[in-house]
Every structure is written in structure tokens, then in C-alpha cells.
């Protein structure tokens, strides 16, 4: 059913149709509306679930860890400092191979304090062993949650669905909300694999001395690599069931004939598409490669899509301080060393702390890269606010 609906409410309705047994909730802007809406759905008797209000995000992550380890389908949501407070447990969830789904309403991290959007929170935990899916719009955000439970439960890996805070969570858009029966047909009942059961005692997530720990990391790394096939299959099944192409690894827009390609992910993709349309009318051939799955990183998919493209610019809403563009570094890694010569991969950081990314800045970025490659540039930087004594 097509609804004009807030992004958070769309996500809450789709999560509810996935029938989680346990939901843990702690309010933090801008994800609060998601768990508020789920609380109402549970309170109205539309979802039979344990809705647990906790005292912190650390507790929220701990609750879903325990619930999943006991055999429950579990869900939570957070943002920014909340995700960082969950950090210890986030790593434990992955190491214990628990198929939990968590929404990250992407928001800048402190200090200084900012409640506005960028993607530095989820990117800070990119190596925790969680699958990370990034939504362009609210339709995709809603759809990815339905897929996330199926991916998690088929791979025994947790899934983080990332959607840009405020830009998506608080925006009202038309979203096609499926019928519960459709979701039931797509997502089978949860059959837990790794559980703590006194009738069949076993330990999970226990102590590993140096004789064993290396192997646990190798197994988790290989599991992340192997889950690529599941992500593809679930995305294809979703398209067949619901008639929409949501999820997968990458999407492209006017890429085939492009002389220059922009690589990005999240809600800024929509603005980039508008720029590409404008530039096409001006006779310029610019294309887009959108990253949908950031972890596992779709290295082979990116290489196949961009192997014939020599001028590439990566635009991202996060930065590795002292290193530069995180996504840009991963994109550069996608190309074999022998094929990097003569290929320009430029890196731009933009939108940190919720700063607007206007069309003029994107046009400037494209026109600059058309002339020469850019190792790293902070797009829209206000140099008048910076003094040498600050550096």
C-alpha cells in the first residue's frame, strides 16, 4: 500500500511485519521515532513482542545479544554516540554470530556535539563484523530492513541498516508498505542456530587463548566474504516478490557511456542524479556508481563496473582523520595494482556535521576533476573559519 509517511514510521512498520520477538529501545536523536513507533505498534497489540526500555545504548545492545542467544528474533536502533556506546557489544554480537538487525540513523559524532547527519558513526564500526547496508531513500530503507532479517538469519551474521538521519528518518515521502502476508511469505519463521539452551549445553563467545583466536577472526572474515552470495540472492528474491529492485551490492545511473564517474552512497545519491541529468543536457557524460552494501565491500562488483573508466571521483560523508577518505581508499583497493597506472581516483569529503551539499559544490567538484585529479579535498570548506594556530 502506497503511503505518504515519515521514514522512521515506514521502517517501524516494516520491522514490525518481520515479527521480532524482542525490541530494545533507548532514545537518541534522530532514531527515536523508529522505536517510539514500534512501541505504539506493540502497545496497540499489532505486534506480539517484548519491548524493553533500557538505561543506555550499551544496555540496548546487551539485551538484543542475550535475546538472540536465547533464540529470539531481535532488533534495536541507534545513532552516533549511542552506536559508539554499543561498541563493545557490537563486536561481541558479530563474534557470537548472532543474526541481529540494527538501524543506524546516521549522525555525526562528538566532539564537538552535532545532532545532524553524516556517516562517521557507522563507518567507525565498519570492521566490527557486521553487514552494512546503506539506503538512498525511504523506500529503500524500508525494503532493506525486510531483507536484513533474511540475510542475517541465513548467514548467522548481524546486519546494520544505515539511513541518513533527519534527511530520511524525518522526511515524509511516498513509500510502498507491503502487506504482512507478503512479508510472511518472503521471510520464514526464525530458526536459531547459535543459542544457549540448558537442554543442550554449549558455550558461545567464550575465552579463546592464542591457540584459537586467530582462527575465529579468519572464520568471521570468510563468513563476511561468503555472505555476498546471500545478499545477491535475497535481493533478487525481494525483487521477484515485491517488484522493486532494492538492495544488492551496487546500482548504476547513466554509467555506460560516462567519461567521469561519481561513486557515493546514502541520500546524497539523489542529488548526484539530478546533477548528472543537468550535465547531460549540457553535453557532458557523467555517471554514478552507488554503493548499497558497504560491508562486505563489493570489490569485484566495483571493478567490473569501473574497469573501463579512467576518471573516478569518490564523494563521502566520513573521514579517517590523518588518512583521508574511507570509501575512496576502499574504491582504490578495488583495482589491481597493474591497472591503477593512468587511472584517476579523486577523493572529496563533504556534508560532515550535516552541512548541506549544494548542487554548485557538486558541479565544482566535477569540473575540477575534469581538469586534474584530486588526492583529497574537503568540499565546501570555509577557510575563513580556520587559523594556523588551530592546526
DSSP secondary structure, 326-379, as one string: HHHHHHHHTS-GGGTTT-EEEEEE--GGG----HHHHHHHHHHHHHS--S-EET
- Is the pLDDT assigned to residue 125 strictly greater than 90? yes
Residue 36 pLDDT exceeds 90: yes
Q: How much is the CA Rg of the chain, to the nearest whole Å? A: 21
How does residue 47 score in pLDDT terms, banded at 50, 70 and 90? Answer: very high
Give exposure, 94-130, as e/b (b: 16+ Cβ within 10 Å).
Answer: bbbbbbbbbbbbbbbbeeeebbbbbbbbbbbbbebbb
* Interatomic CA distance for residues 126 and 320, integer angstroms: 12
Q: What is the mean pLDDT of residues 152-176?
A: 98
Please give the sequence-ordered ranges of beta strands (E in DSSP) within the chain, or none if there are none: 2-6, 22-25, 50-53, 74-78, 101-106, 131-134, 159-164, 172-176, 250-253, 260-264, 286-291, 293-295, 311-316, 344-349, 377-378
pLDDT for 253: 98
Half-sphere exposure of 334 (CA within 13 A, CB side): 27
Arithmetic mean of pLDDT, 368-380: 97
Q: What percent of the chain has pLDDT over 70?
A: 100
Q: In Å, what is the CA distance from 44 to each residue of 11, 48, 179, 189, 305? A: 17, 10, 18, 22, 47
Question: Which band of pLDDT confidence, cut at 50, 70 and 90, is reported for residue 388?
Answer: confident
Is the pLDDT score of 193 beyond 90? no
pLDDT of 310 above 90: yes
CA 175/CA 199 separation, integer angstroms: 45
Amino acid at each position: 500500500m502506497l503511503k505518504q509517511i515519515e521514514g522512521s514510521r515506514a521502517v517501524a512498520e516494516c520491522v514490525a511485519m518481520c515479527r521480532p520477538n524482542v525490541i530494545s529501545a533507548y532514545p537518541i536523536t534522530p532514531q527515536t521515532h523508529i522505536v517510539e513507533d514500534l512501541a505504539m505498534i506493540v502497545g496497540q497489540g499489532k505486534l506480539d513482542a517484548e519491548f524493553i526500555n533500557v538505561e543506555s545504548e550499551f544496555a540496548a545492545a546487551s539485551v538484543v545479544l542475550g535475546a538472540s542467544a536465547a533464540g529470539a528474533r531481535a532488533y534495536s536502533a541507534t545513532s552516533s554516540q549511542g552506536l559508539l556506546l554499543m561498541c563493545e557489544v557490537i563486536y561481541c554480537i558479530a563474534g557470537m554470530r548472532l543474526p541481529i538487525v540494527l538501524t543506524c540513523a546516521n549522525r555525526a559524532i562528538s566532539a564537538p556535539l552535532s545532532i545532524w547527519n553524516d556517516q562517521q558513526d557507522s563507518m567507525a564500526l565498519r570492521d566490527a563484523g557486521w553487514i552494512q547496508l546503506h539506503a538512498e531513500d525511504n523506500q529503500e530503507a524500508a525494503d532493506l530492513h525486510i531483507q536484513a532479517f533474511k540475510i542475517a538469519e541465513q548467514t548467522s551474521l548481524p546486519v546494520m541498516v544505515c539511513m541518513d538521519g533527519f534527511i530520511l528518518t524525518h522526511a515524509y515521502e511516498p513509500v510502498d508498505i507491503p502487506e504482512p502476508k507478503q512479508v510472511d511469505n518472503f521471510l520464514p519463521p526464525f530458526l536459531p542456530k547459535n543459542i544457549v539452551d540448558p537442554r543442550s549445553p554449549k558455550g558461545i563467545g567464550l575465552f579463546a587463548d592464542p591457540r584459537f583466536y586467530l582462527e575465529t577472526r579468519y572464520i568471521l572474515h570468510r563468513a563476511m566474504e561468503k555472505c555476498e552470495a546471500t545478499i545477491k540472492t535475497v535481493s533478487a528474491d525481494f525483487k521477484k516478490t515485491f517488484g522493486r529492485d532494492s538492495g544488492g551490492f551496487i546500482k548504476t545511473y547513466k554509467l555506460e557511456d560516462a567519461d567521469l564517474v561519481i561513486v557515493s552512497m546514502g541520500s546524497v545519491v539523489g542529488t548526484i542524479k539530478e546533477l548528472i541529468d543537468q550535465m547531460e543536457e549540457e553535453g557532458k557524460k557523467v555517471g554514478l556508481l552507488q554503493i548499497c552494501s558497504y560491508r562486505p565491500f563489493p570489490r569485484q562488483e566495483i571493478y567490473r563496473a569501473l574497469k573501463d573508466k579512467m576518471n573516478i571521483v569518490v564523494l563521502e560523508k566520513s573521514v579517517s582523520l590523518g588518512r583521508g577518505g574511507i570509501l575512496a581508499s576502499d574504491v582504490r583497493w578495488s583495482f589491481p595494482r597493474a591497472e591503477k597506472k593512468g587511472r584517476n581516483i579523486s577523493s572529496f569529503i563533504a556534508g560532515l556535521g550535516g552541512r548541506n551539499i549544494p548542487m554548485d559544490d557538486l558541479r565544482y567538484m566535477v569540473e575540477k576533476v575534469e581538469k586534474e585529479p584530486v588526492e583529497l579535498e574537503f568540499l565546501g570548506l570555509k577557510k575563513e573559519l580556520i587559523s594556523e594556530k588551530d592546526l
